A and B are shown apart, each in its own frame.
Chain A
């Protein structure tokens, strides 16, 4: 068990550019979550996958955000036409159903939009 990994750990981009983040969950976990966390706040839910199916997406999520989990293993989160308000820590977590929903978090990707 190597834990949840995320890449890159830090990303600095200019406004209007596209960025893509990757998450590798714990290998046998079939649930995968993406969150956004800003300073002084808790994780804010973005989207949820069970295997390769995206079952839930936050209504707050702009259509500039898209996520995939093509083979039910790793996942990518893409932000198109980034804005300064997108600057945040992006967290990925995985869990194994039906283990009472305990989530295992990655270290996060810190995005800075200039």
Chain B
């Protein structure tokens, strides 16, 4: 079945630092790829997505590129803010005839002023 591996957290950064959160996957077929974010006390919400190889998803200064050759979808941001502190989940859409989306275990980001 499909699986997602995310880097362990927490990731602790100072404001304006560069962020990378690694995500690699195994999948049957060619699923869409997603990053969801969960702010404290809130539900998951879509941050960005990419639907095919070499697509770049972007939103709120975050970016991730669908890399089929390395089966990766790393999340990056050039300059983080305190308000970016949250848990970030990498996810695969359904593929290979299954209806089941697959989520990583999440990476907590803590940004200090």
Cα distance, A4 to B99, chains bound together (Å) = 20
Chain B proximity mask over A74-100: 1 for CB below 8 Å, otherwise 0: 000000000000000001010000001
Contact of B26 with A by CB under 8 A = no
A89's nearest neighbour on chain B, judged by CB, is B43
**Residue A21 interfacial (CB < 8 Å):** no
- Is there an interface contact between A55 and B99, defined as CB atoms closer than 8 Å? yes
**Pairwise interchain contact B44-A105, C-beta atoms closer than 8 A:** yes
Residue contact B89 to A105, C-beta cutoff 8 Å:
no
Q: How large is the interface on B (under 10, 10 to 19, 20 to 34, 35 or more residues)?
A: 20 to 34
Q: What CA separation (Å) do A106 and B32 show in the bound complex?
A: 21
Q: Which residue from A40, A44, A100 sits with its C-beta under 8 Å from B49?
A: A100
Interface residue count on the A side (C-beta < 8 Å): 25
CB distance from A97 to the nearest CB of B (A): 10
Is B100 a contact of A56 with CB atoms below 8 Å? Answer: yes
Cβ-closest chain A residue relative to B107: A42
Please determine whether A101 and B93 come into contact, CB atoms closer than 8 angstroms: yes
Interface check A112, CB cutoff 8 A: no
Known: A35-B103, A42-B106. 19 other contacts (CB 8 A): A33-B101, A40-B105, A40-B106, A41-B105, A42-B104, A42-B105, A43-B103, A45-B100, A45-B102, A58-B100, A91-B43, A100-B51, A101-B32, A102-B34, A103-B101, A104-B46, A105-B43, A107-B42, A107-B43
Question: Residues of B at under 8 Å CB distance from A?
Answer: 4, 31-32, 34, 36, 42-46, 49, 51, 89, 91, 93-94, 98-106
